[in-house]
Chain A
Amino acid sequence: MSLLAGNPLSVVALPFALALLIAAGGKKFVSITQWLAVVAPVAAALAGVGVLASSVPTAAQDVAWLSQGGSVVTAGLAIDNLTAVMLVIVGVVATCVVVFSIGYMADDDARPRYFALLALFTGAMSMLVMASSLVTLFIGWELVGACSYLLIGFWYRKPSASAAAVKAFLTTRIGDVGMLLGLALLWRVTGSLSIPEVLAAAPEIGAGIVTVIALLLFVGAAGKSAQFPLHIWLPDAMEGPTPVSALIHAATMVAAGVFLVVRMWPVFEVAPIALDVVLVVGVVTAFFAATVACVQLDIKKVLAYSTISQLGFMFAALGAGATGAAMFHLTTHAAFKALLFLGSGSVIHAVETQDIREMGGLLKKMPVTGTTWLIGVWALSGLPLLSGFFSKDGVIASVLHAAPLAGYALIAASLLTAFYAFRVTWFVFFGSYRGSAHPHEGGLVMTAPLIALAVPAIALGYFSAPFMQSLGHEAEALDPVVAGVSVTVAVIGVLLAAALYRLGVDRLETERTSLGPVHGVLFSAYGVDSFVTRFLVAPLEKVASWFYEVVDRKVIDGAAEGTAKLTMLFGRLASGLQTGETDVYASLLGVGFVVLMSIAIWLGR
């Protein structure tokens, strides 16, 4: 444990080596090598636990990648408590996901690629959270993006999968451009990209510039964490295998944006305008995505919009200055949302569809999946006693305190959360089965991870005090008023869902007719996607081909060739109407050369 904790590099190198090994083993050895993929996240978790237990941060392992006299571009890794928490989250969730995948992907031919990518992702994500230099952080940041791309497009023969992969990479890269500029600006004003040095210098930066830096970094965070309007890639990312969605698109990578803001907190702390932006974006996203989740018919789409919404809760907390609450919600969310995604994977594996209209009554047929799912939605809805209740109350209380209006919006979003969580639960697990498959529980490799994740989803809430302390925050007592209000709205949400949907599938039709045009708006997620396609992507494609066909080929090339023809004519006259092209060029060059030489001689007098 201390060996790993003391050598952050090994936590990155080990998964990369394992990825190579798994890939090299190929199909022949995959039944053995797939288990090796478990080693990578276990190592990450152990390193995290090692640091948390000893509460001694490891010294940074820094390497100079380019020394420039006083200023040095360094690459480095270190583990402090914030990192350790992230490592434990990544490690635990990834372990469960890898084990679950051994069952879920058992029939897939491309398992070596799959497990190699999972190991690679674990290494890259560990690098991201352990970075002591913004260069290392950015490398990890982009590598997890690349892994995400490769895993979303895992079933690459499906056009929708490859399109979703590209969309995910490009949308997050919009954010990365902002982040890149933010890093360049930090380098300009502080002369360093080492995180401790930059953070130490943050209070000295002028108010205007620090706001710009914070906003640029936030653009990067918003891209990665799918915040409005850069959220459009996450629902499409559900094209990837479901365990991947649990790991990358629910628990870890999409939370990296929240982590980034917490990591760079001293920069944000001195930029109140930027924090206001973070708050507004977070609240808008939380509410907007929750409304969309209420009408989706694809079980993974519900969870995807739910994830966007919950990430919005975390950013809202950050905007309100409550980094502890945001990190705590990140942690509990990682547990219960990974649980829900794996649960949905178990369901999809059993019923071979993602459409909730073709499910139903699965609680009886799949008791482990059903029970753990109920634990997951209980936590997600913020109902009392489970983890989500404590972490969400922390978020709402802090936002209410900082900006009451935003707090009310979050309370409304909480109501919607409970509503959509239980709407989908009724349809999948209660009533009678409406599909044609023969649903049954997967093997132990699939049920054990569900049980393992259910434990933190239940219990994490009671560790709020030590959690806060390890991150250097005061442990806060539950605000009884906030708790009362949020429990009330959650219960209302659950009852609403129960009242409307208890009766069965025909209510989905009622839903459409009674909501009228609103249903269409919600179902298409307010049309942001088609807006982007119609008013941004399509015109850009037109502009690009116009530039090629008109500007480049006709105007620029035409001008150049026109000049050439003109001079050729001139040359023909000058050389007594010779017809051979080469002669014309030669004489033209001769004339030009003499003229230019005269200029040169005149210049050099």
Chain B
Amino acid sequence: MLLSAIVFLPLVGAIASALLPKERASAARWIAAAVTAVDLALVVWLLIGFNVAGGMQFVENRTWVVQVGIEYHLGVDGISLSMLLLSALLSLVAVVASWKQDTKPGAYFAMLMLLEVGMNGVFLALDFILFYVFWELVLVPMYFLIGTWGGPRREYASIKFFLYTLFGSVFMLVGIIALYLQGGTFDITALAGMGFPATFQWWVFAAFFLGFAVKVPVFPLHTWLPDAHVEAPTAASVLLAGIMLKMGTYGFIRIALPILPHAARQWSGFIAALAAISIVYGAALAFAQTDLKKLVAYSSVSHMGFVMLGIASLTPEGINGAVAVMFSHGIVTGMLFLLVGMVYERTHTRVMDDVTGLSAQAPVAAGLLAFASFASLGLPGLSGFVGEFLSLLGAWKSGIPAAWVVVAAIGVLLAAAYTLRMVQRVVLGTPSKAVEGIPDLNVREIAALLPLVALTLVVGIYWDSLLRYVDPAVRATLALMGGS
């Protein structure tokens, strides 16, 4: 029941705040804060009760649609737990960061909570139809968040986002149905390790690849991302980059690898190549940006490339690294988007040359931005390094051609280049006109950032704090693939 509660509690909150009468709509933020906080508390309770070596736990399995064998099947292992924690934490942070939202607040906070339902559900579902429902559910509130509360080009961006992801999920649905017809069940755990024929695996993998790769996003399917981020309100950007991108890579680890192991090995070279290209390409484009949000958006393409590289390695190090990057990128990019949003609220610009010299004017904001930047560029001792390092270790240990590993490693240099150039302009130097006189972060804003700062340090200093949960699940996944 705990997992169901975690998934559906935000739904209750969403309905409640949507039903608020117009004149009381501002109470929605209190509902949202309470609901997301309780939900996070439930996840922490789950974390305490979780047995690190226990495999899939807190399983709930009931028949749902008897005729076609659709089940209501939820469960949590170390990989989904880490993602669930990220989802619950960032949802609360997103609510706190949106406190000042006064355009249709009832609907806004309802959308945020609805989004959490979908995200939590994706990471816990073990039945394909359930998974697909949650997967698609995520699209709707995000579409409205960008389309209603977004920037000037919000309609273009939201439709582009919607079509791209829908395009991908149609292919995923095809894959799901093909698996059902071949395997006779929608149960993800039952399908794992069934050993489908090689050609069949190859084609179904192709379908899933398109579905997941759009979401990650992998080069060249990424062009929706910068548009969506630039137009999205801050909280939506945080959740989009922090959680939704991970749904794609989570899909690879939870579904594509254990169910289609043969195809995964066949595809690994191709995925590694795309991953390496994403890393360098995303970094180069981040370097070319003058808009802070676009810079962070393209840096996400680059960082998610490290996740794909780790997955493509099909080694324990690599996949541990992939999950570590997913987790770290969630908290670190969350921080970056929050800070960019907070600076934007004060200066009304995101153009780097107009926002300079933050240190002299707003030292707390500047210090946190520098901290998040160093975490993002993979400074050892902070969380960003852990996953990138392990991904590289795994990639070079596996059969991936050394050239791609070298290209990926160059990405580490490029990350430092675009990040430090941003820090040099925005944090250092003398205050620009837009920056002069702005107030530093207030207590609420610092409170939204602090948990993320703490996690960045904890994971970065003591890797095992995260990996002790992830590693057993990774090894179980690889065991399902039959060795390696």
Contact = CB atoms under 8 A, between A and B. Distances in A.
Interface in B415-430: 416-417, 420-421, 423-424, 427-430
A156 B317 contact: no
Interface string A278-322: 000000000000000000000000000000000000000000000
B381 A585 contact: no
B405 interface: yes
A170 B418 CA distance: 10
B394 to A, nearest CB: 9
Contacts, number: 164
A547 B178 contact: no
Contacts of B428: 153, 156-157, 162, 165
Interface stretch (A343-351, A408-416, A454-462, A556-564): A556-564
Interface string A544-577: 1101110011001100100010000000000000
A215 to B, nearest CB: 13
A159 B425 CA distance: 9
A217 to B, nearest CB: 14
Contacts of A184: 392-393, 395-397, 405, 409
A6 B201 CA distance: 57
B27 to A, nearest CB: 34
A548 B409 contact: no
Contact of B471 (A67, A177, A601): A67
| Centre residue among A69, A162, A541, A564 by max chain B CB count within 10 A | A162
Q: Interface residues of B: mostly helix, strand, loop or mixed?
A: helix
A177 B381 contact: no
A155 to B, nearest CB: 10
B397 A176 contact: no
B65 interface: no
Given A157-B430, A169-B420, A604-B178, A187 B396 contact: yes
Contacts of A185: 396
Given A185-B396, A604-B181, A593 B170 contact: yes
A65 interface: yes
Interface stretch (A136-144, A240-248, A463-471): A136-144
8 contacts: A135-B389, A142-B380, A176-B413, A600-B175, A600-B181, A603-B178, A603-B204, A604-B177
Contact of A181 (B178, B289, B380, B409): B409
Q: Interface residues of A: mostly helix, strand, loop or mixed?
A: helix
B389 A180 contact: yes
A543 interface: yes
A275 B382 CA distance: 34
B424 A143 contact: no
A184 to B, nearest CB: 4
Interface residues of B, number: 65
B316 interface: yes
B287 A180 contact: no
Contacts of A585: 163
Contacts of A540: 287
Interface residues of A, number: 64
B285 A146 contact: no
Interface string B378-410: 011100010001101101110000000110011
A63 B360 CA distance: 41
A530 B374 CA distance: 28
Nearest to A138: B380
Contacts of B421: 166
A255 to B, nearest CB: 20
Given A541-B287, A600-B174, A600-B178, A176 B412 contact: yes
A170 B405 contact: no
A156 B357 CA distance: 9
Nearest to A592: B170
Given A139-B380, A146-B374, A180-B409, 16 more contacts: A65-B464, A66-B317, A68-B316, A157-B429, A157-B430, A170-B416, A177-B409, A181-B405, A184-B393, A184-B395, A187-B397, A553-B223, A557-B223, A596-B173, A603-B203, A603-B204
Contact of B288 (A67, A157, A544): A544
Interface in B161-188: 163-164, 166, 170-171, 173-175, 177-182
Nearest to A548: B288
Contacts of B379: 142-143, 146
A102 interface: no
B284 interface: yes
Contact of A66 (B178, B220, B467): B467
A499 interface: no
A66 B357 contact: no
A165 B421 CA distance: 10
A402 interface: no
A153 B178 CA distance: 59
Contacts of A543: 284
Interface string A180-197: 110111011000000000
Interface string B270-288: 0000000000010011011
A184 B404 CA distance: 13
A249 B170 CA distance: 58
A183 B393 CA distance: 8
Given A143-B379, A596-B171, A544 B416 contact: no
Contacts of B220: 556
B186 to A, nearest CB: 13
